[in-house]
Structure 1
Amino acid sequence: MRTFSGNILPFETKDRVPNSSLLVSILLVSTSMVTSTTFGYDASMINGLNILPSYANYFNINGPNGTTILSLNTASVWIGGILAGVSFGKVTDVIGRRPALFWAAIITLFAVILQTAAQNVGMFVAARIFIGYGTSASALTGPAYLAETLPFRRRAWGLGIFNDFYYVGGLIAAGITYGTSFMPSTWAWRIPSAIQGVFSILCILLLPFTPESPRWLAFQGRPEDALRVVALTHASGDVNDAVVLVQHKEIIDTIDYEKNTAEPLSLAQMVKTPSARKRMLLCSSVAVFSTVAGNVIVSYYLGTMLTNAGVTNTTTQLQINIILNAFSLVCALVGTYYVDRLGRKPTAIISIGSLTIFLFLVGALTKTYGINSTNNSGIYATVAMIFLFQGAYSFGWTPLLYVYPPEVLNYAIRANGMGAFQFVLNGTALMAVFAFPFALNNIGWKTYMINAAWDALEVPFVWWYWVETQGKTLEEIDEVLDGVKHSNAPDLEKVMRGEAEGISMEKTEEDRDVKE
């Protein structure tokens, strides 16, 4: 074990970071993926609660204002996400990636307690706003933390797994809500609410065993600490390793360049140059496209979707919710495996093209074999298309949602850019989650057709506008977007393949002396 003194967290005196690159990578991903597990749990839990009679009765969802209450209880989590998007990016830049994750977990834990104790709609909605703030604060910090700290060959895997665990949380919540559904009291929905806090506790317990982002440390003027972290994540602590020295030089040179730009880390940097504007548009396209692909209906209103398809039994709907989350998790893991082999653009195009076809089929089959249909084969076909749609979505968008944005954002705008990403993501989701119950009630199957027509427009945009980031360090991605690399270090991939010479510790120290 290697002792690290870094950015101090409220509960710690010293860090205890393992001196093993593989174990450090696992701990980094484990700490961050708690975020997506919490969010996936929340989505699946509220999906299950929307099916439970005891929840519907307690909040009078079957009353005259039922649709409004249903939408508000469900969509309010995104209000907190919007607030986190506009405020937490700066916090992440100032106090560091790791402490930011700690405080996000604390906020989420407080919100879970409030939600479990909710006595009325107002208290429940307030709790869900805080949950949205805490989980979105984690969701903008975690990907930046992983992208900046993991070795580039593990980056896609780590960021993909980060969001794949959305379905782990979803599967756990689906099972718990199914188990509590047989309770006649309010504990049928309070128990699932309370268990949600377990993931935030796990995050807090793991944080002392992970290092701070080397890029954050470099920006704070701590190159030696940054070198030790790079050595830990790439070569189990060997600061003389050739790959470590090249990666460290890339980081230091690029950070020095970005520190010398006007107003680094400011909001203005996000729109100041054509390159920054392109980065933000790429980032925002992921937020919008992944949110209004149609997955919001499946994630939050599966009960209504299944009822419209002809499956009306509550127990059956809850069972389908469990199976669907397990299926989606498998598809997401397969997508994570291929995102670094196929590339980011091909994975997105395959996912979008497939889910568009399946969503059109969901609409057509719902129209033909929907409510009051006695054709069981037609109903089964509709459910099968729902599964295939969610599988296609999970294959591409689940890993890409947090792989691509932190990759295309350079350090000067990464935290604020991820904040803007969360703002757009949550704002789009708020609109969709609030609107879809009304759409499903009023135009039914046509909702799917309209959504699928929108999805078809996403394919040419991704094909034409996205840049490929596969197989590059963050600094090498800057070269793709800026047209110039801000370091004279050789490409890391070439050094690892033996096609280029590395650099020595002496050379690194000479360069540092020249700059000083």
Structure 2
Amino acid sequence: MLTKAQTGTWMPAWVPESTIILSFLLMICAAVQSSTNGYDGSMLNGLNILPSYTDYFNLNAATTGLNTASVFIGGILGPLVSGVVSDRLGRRPAIFWGSLITLLGVLLQTAAQNIAMFVVARIILGFGTALSGIAGGVYLSETFPSRWRAWGVGLLNDFYYVGALIAAGITLGTGEWQSTWAWRLPSLFQGIFSVICILILPFIPESPRWLVHEGHFEEARVVVAQTNSNGNISDPVSVAVYKEIIDTLEWEKQEGRTMSPKEIIKTPVARKRLLIGMSAGPFSCIAGNIIASYYLGAELDSAGITDSLDQLKANVVLNVWCLGCCLAGTHLLAKWGRKPTAILSQCLLVVCLFIIGGLSKKYADNPDGASQSLVYGDVAVMFLFQGFYSIAWTPLLFLYPPEVMNYSIRANGLAFSQFSLNALALVFVFIMPIGLANIGWKMYMVNASWDIVIVGLIAFFWIETKGKTLEEIDAIFEGEKHSSVPDIEEVRLGKAKIDVGAINVQVQEKMTLS
């Protein structure tokens, strides 16, 4: 049964009473946004292999990099406004406008007549996906209950590989077509995910934390109940969660915390939160996956697999493998924790990169005399590398930053993380084909070396967020919890009791004063 909910914005909502059904809809919202990005990477991977695409645009190494990397120009521009838009308009409207802009980019990309039009389309597409992705990351982290947050927000990037798998299958199917529709049809299909996202938005509520900050207290209380206790506003867990939110946001306002982008660097604590939280974006970008994410063809060439059809098949298999690994990784993040999972994944990446570099060197030294075992061994380690990357970095990319950052800097902080990621990705995606062409296997060795540094940074600076609400994570940085209620998991498990009536009176008094 659907209940009409007030959202504090121009977008109405009809929300299901069941917490399970609502969580399922939230996960679909995350999945379809993630699929757009995954589809793009895998589609370009496939297109860069297709002669009908490379011949149509008469591509060389530089223009291949430009066509591919231009999406990250939009990915750099999008975060410049995403935080402000999400804070001012609301999380759901920001997702809506981001999805709409993405659709426009998809249509222009499909109709591209030359490199300039293709590049402009991909800039628009990148802008839209950045806006909806950042708003989605903040929205889901603020709306999902803490016990399901790892899965709910992790899926925002996990389904990257579902989109990638769909794109790989479509480009494989159109690969032998002798017309421009061999690449135009895969491009057009990319818009389906944004359409699904727009259709789901009317059936999910606004972020309860955004509603409280904007003064919509009753609406926020209802959303907390919908996401935690099937709409029961008297449930102890819902009451505790709601009290924790209003106490913490009230403290932030009393401290003079604003929603200005300058807030992310205003205090030492804010700067610490920003550096730790935003590090997930750059770390994931420079880990080494960009080679296989956008230039699998060149990577397989270096290993001795040069047939375009074989490369397209490898693209399909790779995405199935990575999807399984990122789902397993999300389970580890939920059960084991964010920090240990990231360290494990990063260490495995270092080992794989050194092995890939060594095997690729052996092939480069004598390509005609290379054994089949050498070729397939190199490819096997490349696949292992992508799987190990997916274990931690795929779900962490949108999960960790909003967890570490408090409300006043959350949207702008995640935007800054994505800005950093896309700025680095723009450089790396552009230079990778040039680097592989000039120094070949040495690119893997260079990448492995800086990955070792990342392991140390994670071990020394990251904090653990598993099992805590966003307000409880605040206490790690601020040194104290800003609410009198016990930790939510203690209440949920029955280890701590609360006086629901007394808390309701306190909440009502705060609402009256506000």
TM-score, normalisation: structure 2: 0.97
Q: Distance in 2 between matches of 1:231 and 1:482?
A: 27
Moved more, 492-501 or 221-230: 492-501
* Correspondent of 2:324 among 330, 349, 373: 330
Contact preservation (8 Å) 2:278, 2:413 = no
Compute the displacement of 1:487 (Å): 1.1
Compute the displacement of 1:152 (Å): 0.2
Which position in structure 2 is the counterpart of 1:367? 361
Contact preservation (8 Å) 2:9, 2:89 = no
Contact preservation (8 Å) 2:325, 2:387 = yes
Listed as ranges, the matches of 1:502-513 within 5 Å are: 502-513=498-509
* Correspondent of 2:149 among 155, 169, 174: 155
What amino acid sits opposite 2:224 in the alignment? V
What amino acid sits opposite 2:185 in the alignment? I
Which position in structure 1 is the counterpart of 2:266? 272
* Correspondent of 1:68 among 39, 43, 62: 62
Which position in structure 2 is the counterpart of 1:248? 242
Unaligned runs of 5+ in 1: none
Contact preservation (8 Å) 1:310, 1:372 = no
Contact preservation (8 Å) 1:355, 1:392 = yes
Q: Distance in 1 between matches of 2:374 and 2:143?
A: 49
Which position in structure 2 is the counterpart of 1:18? 16
Which position in structure 2 is the counterpart of 1:39? 37
What amino acid sits opposite 1:208 in the alignment? P
Q: Distance in 1 between matches of 2:155 and 2:116?
A: 35
* Correspondent of 1:489 among 485, 498, 505: 485
Which position in structure 2 is the counterpart of 1:50? 48
Q: Distance in 2 between matches of 1:141 and 1:511?
A: 28
Compute the displacement of 1:374 (Å): 3.5
What amino acid sits opposite 2:7 in the alignment? G
What amino acid sits opposite 1:2 in the alignment? T
How many residue pairs were aligned?
A: 509
Which position in structure 2 is the counterpart of 1:102? 96
1:261 and 2:252 equivalent? no
Which position in structure 2 is the counterpart of 1:426? 422
Q: Distance in 1 between matches of 2:119 and 2:510?
A: 57
Compute the displacement of 1:138 (Å): 1.4
Query: Taking structure 1 as reference, are residues 8 and 511 closer, same or farther at Cα in structure 2, changes over 3 Å only?
Result: closer
Contact preservation (8 Å) 1:108, 1:200 = yes
Q: What value does the CA root-mean-square deviation take over the aligned residues?
A: 1.2
Listed as ranges, the matches of 1:305-320 within 5 Å are: 305-320=299-314
% identity of equivalent residues: 51
Contact preservation (8 Å) 1:288, 1:425 = yes
1:83 and 2:77 equivalent? yes
What amino acid sits opposite 2:299 in the alignment? M
1:419-454 alpha-carbon deviations (Å, 9 max, x no partner): 111110110111111111111010000000000111
Q: Distance in 1 between matches of 2:278 and 2:503?
A: 40
Compute the displacement of 1:32 (Å): 2.5
Which position in structure 2 is the counterpart of 1:299? 293
SS of 1:3's equivalent in the other structure is strand
Segments ≥4 residues shifted beyond 6 Å: none
Contact preservation (8 Å) 2:91, 2:139 = yes
Q: Distance in 1 between matches of 2:417 and 2:252?
A: 21
Query: Taking structure 1 as reference, are residues 7 and 507 closer, same or farther at Cα in structure 2, changes over 3 Å only?
Result: closer
Contact preservation (8 Å) 2:239, 2:500 = yes
Moved more, 140-149 or 28-37: 28-37
1:453 and 2:453 equivalent? no
Which position in structure 1 is the counterpart of 2:281? 287
What amino acid sits opposite 1:381 in the alignment? G
SS of 2:14's equivalent in the other structure is strand
Listed as ranges, the matches of 1:93-172 within 5 Å are: 93-172=87-166
Compute the displacement of 1:514 (Å): 5.4
What amino acid sits opposite 1:33 in the alignment? A
1:20-64 alpha-carbon deviations (Å, 9 max, x no partner): 001111111211221110000000000100000010101111xxx
Query: Taking structure 1 as reference, are residues 8 and 266 closer, same or farther at Cα in structure 2, changes over 3 Å only?
Result: closer
What amino acid sits opposite 1:50 in the alignment? N
TM-score, normalisation: structure 1: 0.97
SS of 1:17's equivalent in the other structure is strand
Query: Taking structure 1 as reference, are residues 514 and 443 closer, same or farther at Cα in structure 2, changes over 3 Å only?
Result: closer
Contact preservation (8 Å) 2:243, 2:503 = no
1:298-332 alpha-carbon deviations (Å, 9 max, x no partner): 10000000001111000000000000000000000
Compute the displacement of 1:260 (Å): 2.6
Which position in structure 1 is the counterpart of 2:374? 378
Contact preservation (8 Å) 1:92, 1:141 = yes
Q: Distance in 2 between matches of 1:374 and 1:449?
A: 21
* Correspondent of 1:471 among 461, 467, 474: 467
Compute the displacement of 1:261 (Å): 3.1
Contact preservation (8 Å) 1:219, 1:259 = no
Compute the displacement of 1:506 (Å): 4.4
Q: Distance in 2 between matches of 1:59 and 1:239?
A: 59
Unaligned runs of 5+ in 2: none
Which position in structure 2 is the counterpart of 1:6? 7
What amino acid sits opposite 1:3 in the alignment? K
